[in-house]
Structure 1
Amino acid sequence: MSDHAPVILDIAGLTLTDIDRARLAHPLCGGLILFARNWKNREQLTQLCADIKSIREDLLICVDHEGGRVQRFRTDGFTHLPPMRSLGELWMQDGGQGGSAMHATDVATACGYVLGSELRACGVDFSFTPVLDLDWGESGVIGDRAFHRDARVATLLAKCLMHGLLQAGMANCGKHFPGHGFVKADSHTDIPIDERALHAILADDAAPYGWLSATLTSVMPAHVIYPQVDSRPAGFSRRWLEDILRRQLGFQGAIFSDDLSMAGARIIDGREVSYTEAAIVALDAGCDMVLLCNQSVESEGGVAVDELLEGLEAAAKQAKWVANARSDDRRRALLPATPSPTWDWLMAHPAYLRSIDLLI
């Protein structure tokens, strides 16, 4: 087995194919990300996760499951979680000066506990949540996924949600560093550019990352260019990841690239790059893991995934990329340390039932 398995990939369907199994067994594969297309019901998801773990116990099974419009599993008993903005609105019900703020923190913890517990009961290890972007009212792709415009409110609500995840035995992921909420463009289809100076970003959008440096277990940087800081998007920038996030803000956990198939990841230094090139630049900049999503459903049936795995393997042999054992330690640290609950146990567990009451 490799001492660094940085690739997080995806699969097309409800069960594993022989090709999926071969990719997941590749020594450079560290896990996979699930989507709504991989969901039929709890029984199917639980079996799929068990099949994945039968290939390698250390594979990290991930999902984007935040609440609101970004929630991959919504039927067969999964609780419909609120968008994070609703927690910020609850905080402000009495002007943010009294009991509503305290109640909002309790609801945020309940939200994290329900989110983490339900996923873990089906065998999912990890969710890319919470969003730490600020709600500037400009970004359609972030929008109500953000807690609040005020970095202090967003930070405290996120911390409470992460407390709930921790109670469920799940790690967390703050995204999208240093902040995606200020720009209008969607990095799935564009390359957003934020023209603000570094001091302005650090004083506002990036502030939660410093305040949560001892709480965050992982971070996902934005496919956004901040030209006054670096000409490269944050996820490909050593300045942002190593100098600012790790050294200046003190973050010690794992760093995931955002999806390398997004438009914001395909142009680096003014040039369109291959997935392998993008992955190498991201890893060299300080990412521990790289995501390549939605390629298994392309007409070629995931050729891009194979090209990335083979390309990284060749790059390692040619010393164009050096595996990092510390990066893999950070990946493994995101795996749950406690046994998963059963769904039946969860449905009778007092902490879960109280959390459900708070969310209804």
Structure 2
Amino acid sequence: MTPGGLMIGVRGAELTAEERELLAHPRVVGVILFTRNFESWDQLCALTAAIHRQGEPAPIVAVDQEGGRVQRFREPCTVLPPARLIGARHDQDDRTSRHWAREMAWLMAAELRAAGVDLSFAPVLDLDRGFSSVIGDRALHGDPDSVAELATAWTEGMRAAGMAATGKHFPGHGGVSADSHLDLPVDDRPVLALRGEDLVPFERLVESGGLDAVMTAHVVYSDMDNQPATFSRQWIQNTLRQELGFEGVVVGDDLGMEGAASIGDYPERAESAVDAGCDLIMLCNELDAIPGVLDALGAEVDPQTQRRLAMLQPGAAPASSLEALHATDRWVTARRVVDDIAASATDSG
């Protein structure tokens, strides 16, 4: 029995008949949404409800809602500032910065949960080295210990809103300038350097139990393996599972990215990722390729993977609607904090 569930993208604001059929496939365990799937709040709520009705257990509805330039749903959701602003405050006032991280993560997760979205793939644990074209201000800080502190607060906020936390992109995407959406980055640094820097936030949060999932990077770390980390048993099985002791969900980044292309066609990428140890793989945009991937993987997900994937199912939402959420003191307080974070960009500029 082959491990690995598949999370798929859908084309628009409503499910098509073909997409409903795909969601009934036992290998398809969720949907990841993008800006193309968002027209209004009511439409989003209807879409998540329709997705949840397609299976038992209900398919997981996920999104990338980090803040800054990676925020798929905006108004009436709060427009979130980039995580780098939280890290900038950390250099002056670590207590306030941790409070900022916790509150922004809670607000982000609470708003999504009110719409029926189960999971946002966050926080980013990559280090801000100042030259990565794809990470940039998505990172919390450049110092590993600071990232670990702030990300711990971030995961606390998400979990308080009933949402699992996903650290990404293991073992660290901040050391390469190339964008793995468009290229296959190669990080030539010694593994010892990675262990002393980029791996530190992952190690700390795994040790503390702060992560329910870890998303891998489509980056080759040549001192360890000639395969991108998503397709590397060395990184997933030996380092993440055995050395760090991670027992949660391993999520492979989107198989449609250029950083995965060296592995082969889409079925070959899917098979390679699950063979390496990914519990959850994603095909976000190349929707015509989904049937071929399902044919290659077969119908059944193994029981151990199913148990891990259950960790991504959400807890109770803080409020059942956006209106009800806005009426709570908790949301009002968190919104003020997010406004303070956004204003800090002007204050420091």
Unaligned ranges ≥5, structure 2: 340-349
TM-score, normalised relative to structure 1: 0.90
Between the aligned partners of 2:213 and 2:6, the Cα distance in structure 1 is 15
**192-201 or 304-313, which deviates more:** 304-313
Name 2:32's counterpart in structure 1. Answer: 33
Query: Aligned Cα RMSD in Å?
Result: 1.5
Instruction: Give the counterpart letter for 2:54 in structure 1.
Output: I
Q: Residue 310 of structure 2: which of 308, 319, 332 is its match?
A: 332
Which of these residues, 273, 280, 297, is aligned with residue 312 of structure 1?
297
Instruction: Describe the shift of the 1:166–1:79 C-alpha distance in structure 2 as closer, same or farther (beyond 3 A).
Output: same
- Asked if structure 1 preserves the Cα contact closer than 8 Å seen for 2:110 and 2:317, the reply is no
Q: How does 1:50-129 map to 2 (within 5 A)?
A: 50-56=49-55, 57-75=57-75, 77-92=76-91, 94=92, 100-129=93-122
Partner of 1:289: 280
Task: Kindly provide the CA deviation profile for residues 46-67 of structure 1, in whole angstroms up to 9, marking residues without a partner as x.
Answer: 0001011111142110001100
**Partner in structure 2 of residue 204 of structure 1:** 197
CA drift of 1:5 comes to 6.1
Distance 1:169 1:3, change over 3 A: farther
> Which of residues 252, 257, 266 in structure 1 aligns to 2:247?
252
Which structure 2 residues correspond to residues 131-280 of structure 1 after superposition, within 5 A? 131-213=124-206, 214-268=209-263, 273-280=264-271
Aligned match of 2:328: 349
Deviations 1:80-123 (A, max 9, x none): 1110100001112x3xxxxx211111011010110000000000
Q: Is the contact between residue 318 and residue 325 of structure 2 (CA under 8 Å) also seen in structure 1?
A: no
CA distance in 1, matches of 2:309, 2:27: 12
**The residue matched to 2:133 in structure 1 has which SS?**
coil
1:42 corresponds to 2:41: yes
Residue type at the aligned position of 1:155:
A
**1:39 deviation in Å?**
0.3
Q: 1:85 to 1:339 in 2, by over 3 A?
A: closer
User: Per-residue displacement from partner, 1:300-340 (whole Å, max 9, x unpaired)?
Assistant: xx321111112212xx7xxxxx8431111111211113256
Aligned to 2:288: 303
Alpha-carbon distance between aligned partners in 2 of 1:287 and 1:4, rounded to the nearest angstrom: 8
Kept after mapping to 2: 8 A contact 1:67/1:80: yes
- 2:3 & 2:314 partners in 1: Cα distance? 19
Measure the CA separation in 1 of the matches of 2:39 and 2:156: 29
Secondary structure, aligned partner of 1:258? coil
Task: Extract structure 1 runs of 4+ deviating beyond 6 A.
Answer: none
Measure, in 1, the Cα distance between the counterparts of 2:306 and 2:38: 28
Unpaired segments ≥5 residues, structure 1: 95-99, 296-301, 317-321
Distance 1:340 1:61, change over 3 A: farther
Distance 2:86 2:289 in 1: 39
